[in-house]
Structures are given as C-alpha cells and as structure tokens.
Amino acid sequence: MAKLQNIKGMRDHLGQAMLLRQHIVAVLTQVAERHGFEPLQTPVVEYAELLEGKLGDDEKLIYRFEDNGGRRLALRYDQTVPLARVVAQYAGQLVFPWRRYAYGPSYRGERPARGRYREFYQFDADIVGSASPLADAEIVAILTESLEALGFPGFTTLLNHRQVIGGIARASGLDEAAASGVYRSIDKFDKLGADGVREELLKMGVAPESAAQILALVQIDGDPRDVLEELSGRLGDDERAAQALENLRAVISGLVEMGVAPERYKVAPRLARGLSYYTGLVFEAATPHWPEGSLLGGGRYDELIGQFAGRAIPTVGLAFGIDRLHDVMEELGLGPRPTSTATAYVTIFAAGLEADSLALARELRAGGVNTLISLEAGGGLGKQLKDADRKGVRFALVLGPDELARGEVVLKDLRGGAQRSVARGEVVAALADGRQ
C-alpha cells in the first residue's frame, strides 16, 4: 500500500472516543434492562438469501461475497433481519412477548456522509410477539428515557402510521400500487422540503391536484390530538387509515400513562421511514441542534418475522445509531469527557522502591480505584508526572522513603496542582472524595 488508511466510510476510534461510545452503550443498556429487556448477540455474517428480498430499494447496499466453499454470504445490514431469523430458529425456547436488545456493527455499501458510515454500530431494542399499542408506547418511552439520560436537549419524537400515508395517497386519488412511491417521496420531506417533494411526485406521474392534496395533508401540524382529529375528518372514510389513527390515539394514551412528557412527541403525517418492512407505527427522534437528519428511528413490522417463522409474529422496535449519537454528543459537548480509564498514577520514586509502589497500586485497585503504575524510575519524578498528565490521569501518587517512614502517600491533583500528604490507609477514600 502506498498509504496506510482506513477503508472509506469506516473509522478507528481511539481512547477518548471509545470512552464516550462505551458511556452511550452503558446508558442504553441500563435503560433497556430497566424495562426487562434481555441481551442477544448474532453473527455479523449471514447467508445472503436471508437478507435478500427484505429491504426494498436498499437491497443494493448489502455487502455480499462468496467464501472459500462457494457459499453466498452477506455482512449484517442491520439487527432486524437477524432477529427475525433467531425468532424463527429458536421459537420453542422464547417466551412471548419477548423483549430483547442487541448491540454490534452492521455494514452498508452506501456513500459515506456526515453521520452516515459504511461500518456503523447499532443498539436495537424490540418487543416480539405483541400487537398491543402499549408495546409501541413502551418502545417510544425507552427512546425518550435514553435520550434524556444521555443529555440530549430539545429533542422530539415524530409519530406516524404507514396506513395514514397510504390513506393520504388513496384519498388523493392514487391506487395502491402508487402508494409505495408516495412513501419514498414523503420520506424525503425534511431533506427536500415541500417544493422538492412536489417535484418528486410529479415525476412519478402524480397529477398536480393530487400532489397538492398530498402535500396539504402531510403538512398538518399541531397538538397530537388536534392533528389526529383533523386527519380523521379528512381520511375517516378510508377504513385502514381510520384504524391507523385509532392506533395512534392508543399509543399516545400509553405514552401519557407511562409518564412521557407531552413536549417529547408529536404526530407528523409527513413521516414515512424508508424501509419497506414497516407495517404500522413509525417514528423518528430529531433535535434542532442536529440539522443533518434524525437521531434515530424505528417502528412496527408485523410481517417480516412471519416470513421466517411461517406465522404472523407482530413486532415493534427501534435502532440507536451509536456513531450518530457519538458524533452529535461530541459536537454539542454532551456526556462525560474522561481522558483516561485510570484515576490514579503511582510513580516510582527511585530504583529499589519498585516493590513499595507496586504494593500501593495493588491496594488501590483492590479498593476499586483504576490505577496506572509507572514502569521505571528512570528520568525522575518530573518525567513520570508529565507522563501521567499527558495520559489524562487526574491524580499522581508519590511514595518516597520519607512517606514510607511516616506511613503516608503524597497525593497530587494534576488538574488543579494542589498536593497533600495522606495516611496510607486513607488514600482510597481520599481519591474517592477527589473524584466527586
């Protein structure tokens, strides 16, 4: 290679970035497990035929290859299709409704852009085996609790139902075959705006008056109940749309009972979600502080798992994009900013005192303090203290002959510069106080 570099759209994550990413995953795991979800891990490689025919227009983004045995394989596109396989494969071992979360990398051969990568990490949470709108509401509640715990400001979750958009298409004079094209066009609303979507619809062959009616309906805005009431008045003669609106009312009622603040969600008829396997509720969370698109999304997909299981298994879920959350949190200055996994750095005062410093490091670790130990006394204390500071460790500990004689340790705060002598038996407590 003429130049060492990453594959375009795939990134290395060094220490500080990884600490933030680990924080994000830890928070999401805590929220999911607080709701009783259990973990699942699946291989990153699946048979290609498992993914093919499930993703609509996005199927062209699948990374496919043949192994040495001539088997047609594919890299995981997302966590959803592998979940469907697991449910069908282990149906006899699962108790429904089954709440599961999964975390790991996925791969898509798309054009890289800000917040969009070819290798990306997702954290999914799904409820399998329940058609209840309370399941939908719980997934949206998990989304809300997670973003609040991560410190995201001013976010709102947009709610819609695929049959509301279908009803809008039908009410505008389009047949069922044309409705899928409406999904794709409306899905670009936030990117293209009303004029751009109108052009998309006209290129599809939609009549100007029908395009105007579609745009008027998808731009209805306001309090969720008012939006649903207005849509009911306009789409009430469409049975499927009427049922979808009633479903949204039930989801919102569940959100109220679960304590989700009303400013955290709204009904948005323009929301479509591009993946073809969605069948019911769809949602996306967005914040005005990140204009590049939604933070995350999800929805109900009641037919995908049934394609594998041979029977209907209703499912609803969401996917947190760890890369996008990380990028937004870095840009907005959210979350903790640790520079090291270690709190303490134990120096070696001089040759011959290594055993004493190693014993101190061992005591700190046994007390729950993450501790680095200098590996040599060469260069003196100044070099070791500089090394500790460069590594982002906050506290340096010095154990010289005088400290050993007095049963003390010198504790130096590298952030503020202050230092003091602490009794050997009180060092762990002193470090715990200093971290607060």
pLDDT tens digits for 299-355?
A: 999 988 888 888 889 999 999 999 999 999 999 999 998 889 999 999 999 999 999
What are the φ/ψ torsions at residue 330 (nearest 5 degrees)? -65, -45
Write down the mean pLDDT value for the chain: 91
d(CA 182, CA 199): 12
Instruction: State mean pLDDT over 372-392.
Output: 92
Model confidence band, residue 368 (pLDDT cutoffs 50, 70, 90): very high
Instruction: State mean pLDDT over 359-375.
Output: 96
Model confidence band, residue 435 (pLDDT cutoffs 50, 70, 90): low
Instruction: State mean pLDDT over 165-174.
Output: 86
What pLDDT is recorded for position 97? Answer: 97
**Helices 239-257/224-235 angle, 10° precision:** 170
What pLDDT is recorded for position 427? Answer: 96
* pTM for the whole structure: 0.89
d(CA 51, CA 65): 13
The answer, yes or no, to whether residue 183 has pLDDT greater than 80, is no
Look up tokens 């149906």; give the residue: 91
The answer, yes or no, to whether residue 274 has pLDDT greater than 70, is no
Question: pLDDT over 70 for what percent of the chain?
Answer: 98
The answer, yes or no, to whether residue 262 has pLDDT greater than 80, is yes
d(CA 284, CA 263): 14
Model confidence band, residue 386 (pLDDT cutoffs 50, 70, 90): very high
The answer, yes or no, to whether residue 436 has pLDDT greater than 60, is no
d(CA 235, CA 102): 38
The answer, yes or no, to whether residue 29 has pLDDT greater than 80, is yes
Q: Which residues sit opposite 239 in a β-bridge?
A: none
